[in-house]
Amino acid sequence: MSTIHIKLLLTAIFWGGTFIAGRIVGRNLDPCSAAFLRFTTASIFFIFLLWRVNGRLPAIKKNQLLPLTLLGMTGVFTYNIFFFKGLKLINAGRASLIIANNPIFITLLSAYFFKEKLNLIKICGVFTSVTGAIIVISRGNLNEILNGGIGWGEFYILLCVGSWVTYSLIGKSIMKSLSPLVSVSYSSIIGTIALFIPAYFEGVTKNLTYYPLNAWLAIFYLGFFGTVLGFFWYYEGIKAVGPMKASQFINFVPISAIIIAFFVLGEPITLSLVIGAILVISGVYLTNR
């Protein structure tokens, strides 16, 4: 296995670990405060990275400001508020499998908005993955969905999916004129600024000294390993082996989340979780072939 493949595998493990770190942070911090501190950490590293790669902070044109703001408000602001709200209520492994359906909805909406073709294999992948997600959400009991037995935690994580899909579709347009690093860095900074307002009213500035050490370690993990390093290595992988091969490593994200959650948080690995994981990962694989 080459160095780039090891980096891609580690990236998938890092991203799987964000669900466990998010669960730890969610137990100790309010959602907006958690999101603000995560992306304050990430933004500091992104600024350093931009400076190192470009020798300066790249200039932004006026017509790029609105798309970048929308990226910050969807991929950073709303996504992370719902992420931490959801992880306060449901297990990390379940949340990771719901969010693993991101590529499915991106594929469907890309076909609608950008006229990308859907073949039979991709359509089968969509149905397979969505079936897996339904099994995970309902814990294997479909009557729960029919009777409205799904909780707020699942609902918040589904809103995460909606936020990320919107972010990805907007990013598809803006990245024609800006590099991924510049787009993600500036959207991170914009989202962080927006998050400060609700975080302030949650009391983040007053509570900084009261957060436990494990919460601070989890925030650093989310900001550096889960956001900056994960992003940088993933795009290194795309550059080296191409987007199709690099994207296959994302299938390891829910697997790593379930395994890490089992060992770190003691979350059970149920039959519905295993079946759902197999279907979701198979569906994402077929969709991205």
Read off the pLDDT of residues 34-73 as tens digits, 9 standing for 90 and up: 999 999 999 999 999 999 988 888 989 989 999 999 999 9
Read off the pLDDT of residues 99-117 as tens digits, 9 standing for 90 and up: 988 888 888 887 777 777 7
Read off the pLDDT of residues 164-179 as tens digits, 9 standing for 90 and up: 989 988 888 887 788 8
Residues of the chain with pLDDT under 70: 1, 142-150, 243-244, 289
Q: Which domain holds residue 202?
A: 3-287
Cβ contact 17:260 at 8 Å: yes
Count of structural domains, the chain: 1
